[in-house]
Amino acid sequence: MKFSLSWLREHLDFTASCEEICARLNGIGLEVESVENPAEKLAGFRTAKILEAHRHPDADRLQLCRVAAGAGYEDLQVVCGAPNARTGLHVIFAPPGTYVPGLDITIKKGKIRGEESGGMLCSLRELGLGEESNGIAELPETAPIGEAYATYAELDDPVMEIAITPNRGDALSIRGIARDLAAAGIGHLKPWLTEAVEGNFEPAINWKIAHPDCSYAVGRVIRGVKNGHSPDWLQRRLKAVGLKPISKLVDVTNYFTFDLGRPLHVFDVAKLSGNTLTVTHAARETFTALDGNEYVLGTDDMVIVDDAGVQSLAGIMGGQQSGVDENTTDVFVESALFDAVRIALTGRRLAIHTDARQRFERGVDPALVRTGLEAATIMIRDLCGGEPSEITEAGDLPNWKRTATLRFERLETLGGINIPADDAVRSLEHLGFEVVERKDDQATFAVPSWRNDVASGQVLAQAVTLDEDVAAKAAANVPRMEAECDLIEEVLRLYGLDAVPAVPLPQLAMVAAPAVTPLQARAALMRRICAARGMMETVGFSFVAHEDAVLFGDVPETQRLLNPIAMDLDQLRPTPLVNLARALGRNLARGLGLSGEGALFEIGPCFDFEGQHLRVSGLRGGLTAREPGQAAQEATLWDAKADLTAALTALGVPEASLSVTADAPGFYHPGRSGQVRQGPKLVLGSFGELHPRTARALGLTGTVVAFELYLDRIPQPKAKKKMPPALSALQPVRRDFAFLAGPDVEAQTVLKAVRMADRNLIQDVRLFDVFEGGSLPEGHRSLGVEVVLQPQTESLTDVGLEALSKSVEAAVLKATGATLRR
């Protein structure tokens, strides 16, 4: 929010300096972001008069001007090339040493075509104040000689910009800022009253409301107006806050948007169809706004229509079709009250940012709907002439009146400052709160219309719970406490936020709570495990190209971005493997791909039809580094399975509880991949070679293997009492078995059967060999299994080993039909 010091004086009578005002604004929560004084850039420029002008003896387009510019510059020569330089003209003079902002130069004495020049005669463009011109600025004959130009032009007017929090819609008006400053001890707030303008005829336009998000609308016709350029004082004020003056009628609406925080709009009556303006729902149609852009409206958007169609996007921007121009003679002035949430949703969806939207979505003063129209009518009549009609209205002004109670002792218990009750009441009264009832320990105040941020009562109770009984009980307590907190905040900020003592939070426990969640701890563990296995971590965007995403399965159209940051980042990724594959391709294309250069992993989010998930994804491609006695080789699916198994083991998932099924996602090779499950339904991860079709589409050559661990699906391990590990004093014994298995027998079924043969003695079971062909029956294969036996109380004897071997053989035969090779 920008405002100039001279505009502030319209509402506030003060003698404080700009520095004092800035300090007080910061102290009451209206943070000053910048202060800019145009006069500082114009230091050195002076008003002057050309005493005599004649042609340069050596240049037809130059003139020698004898200039008077006040003390020290009574009679000097300036060489000027402006075609309008002439004797008797009052001008702007820049003496040597003056910095010219429009040209980015500093004036120096010198000679031009052999003639001395002791300064420069300037145009407004060269001062950075106007558009391109054909000559120097011409000042009125009444302009004094030798006065600082910034003072003469009334440009010595600092402009301050303050940050506004979302709850302070009242501070988006200069009067609201003046009210806060007056309450904080800076000057006195001037009274603001506007007279009711009597209408002379029935309005040719009437209101109709057919949208629930517009509660009240008023307006009137002013006929016989004469539009044109606004007076200098109005243009200066609008320029000071960053607005470009357009015309008298438009500038009046912009003036009150900043002055009172009351957005208005003017329609050209001659461009409207019919005699009714209706606030209603938009159809699915295109609307051309005053900014010249076309917007596609939806049925949730609120618009103002006539018989011809949409004429305004309510509360945000008017339409080009009914906009006023220099030929406008009759106007309809609109002032309405629109729902803040509806304005915010429409503005956000259409990406339209206007001063009107900024105020409506933060809440405007409902009491100004009609009085704001009256004030605008007076200014339009003064600047443009015209005859006003009676006011037409529709809807009802909502009941904004409410009360809030402050218990004085809460100022200390909540705010930490013992503020006298009289001082607290006086502070709130200066802000516009009126005392309704005063007791020794508390006071009840009527909340002013412009402070819609102060809790309104029943609404808050309904937000707490949907249970009617609980809501009824909360209605008498929660809103009261919320409103009381708002009052405490107002008193404290006027007293001085710097005076609030710093109090440390109470210590809840001697031992600090964990700084990370279990899922975050698991992600950190996975990061260490993957790095220890020779993989390099990457961090990619959660957005990928839609063409890449569909290579890794079906992607929801609802997760397609409407406004992506780049054309190739228009889809939420279904898996981090999309990013890893593209990164691997770039590495391989640059001749990289040895060891960690071709082994990448990422821990990050992915998105599917069920929502967002966290995955650990890894990819291996290229060749391993050559070592003595070992040639470089490509990664295999067993490498990917080992990566996944190592991660699951580190997370405490018992390997014995896992099984592998051949139903990996479609972007894997169908015969060289698998899914790891715990039980029949819970899928914990997948591994295997990338499908050749997927690899070719991504430009990858050679064998590329991948794994994925669904980190947020891993069940939390059950809490166990910490016991020292039971270490046996006896050495483990290893025995190898070779089973002849049929074509339908899975190796994991054999391993599970061996493990179940003697759960107390058998410590570990591993598959170490798979053999097919030779003398084996067709379709059969030999599975080599290593069994680790760990005796606890006594060493194993030959008899015991023989009995165990028979138990293993019998268990496998019963579970799978596989027999022991003899």
β pairing state of 2-4 and 159-162: antiparallel
Instruction: Show Cβ contacts of residue 103 under 8 Å, excluding neighbours closer than 6 positions.
Output: 126
The confidence score (pLDDT) of residue 366 equals 94
CA dist 464 and 456 (Å) reads 14
Q: How far is CA 290 from CA 265, 266, 321, in A?
A: 11, 12, 8
What tens digit of pLDDT does each residue of 436-484 get? 999 999 999 999 999 988 875 433 333 333 344 544 444 444 456 778 8
How much of the chain is in helix, strand and coil states, percent to nearest 5? 30, 30, 40
Instruction: Show Cβ contacts of residue 809 under 8 Å, excluding neighbours closer than 6 positions.
Output: 737, 819, 820
Provide the β-strand partners of residue 296. 286
- What is the signed CA dihedral for 249, 250, 251, 252, rounded to 10 degrees? 60
**Backbone angles phi and psi of 414, in degrees to 5:** -100, -40
- Binding site annotation covers 75? no
The confidence score (pLDDT) of residue 90 equals 95
H-only helix segments in 431-574: 458-464, 468-475, 478-495, 518-532, 546-549
Q: How far is CA 141 from CA 145, 461, 549, in A?
A: 10, 68, 73
CA dist 361 and 265 (Å) reads 17
Give the chain's domains with CATH numbers.
2-37+157-189 (3.30.56.10), 40-152 (2.40.50.140), 206-395 (3.50.40.10), 403-499 (3.30.56.10), 518-713 (3.30.930.10), 733-820 (3.30.70.380)
Structure token digits, residue 603: 């821990």
Instruction: Show Cβ contacts of residue 83 under 8 Å, excluding neighbours closer than 6 positions.
Output: 134, 135
Amino acid identity of 522? R
β pairing state of 276-281 and 206-209: parallel
What tens digit of pLDDT does each residue of 375-389 get? 999 999 999 999 999
CA dist 639 and 705 (Å) reads 8
Residues of the chain whose pLDDT is less than 70?
Answer: 131-132, 456-480, 593-597, 625, 719-726
Provide the β-strand partners of residue 112. 115
- Binding site annotation covers 490? yes
The confidence score (pLDDT) of residue 784 equals 92
CA dist 61 and 720 (Å) reads 98
Structure token digits, residue 279: 């606030």
| CA 172 distance to own-chain centroid | 21
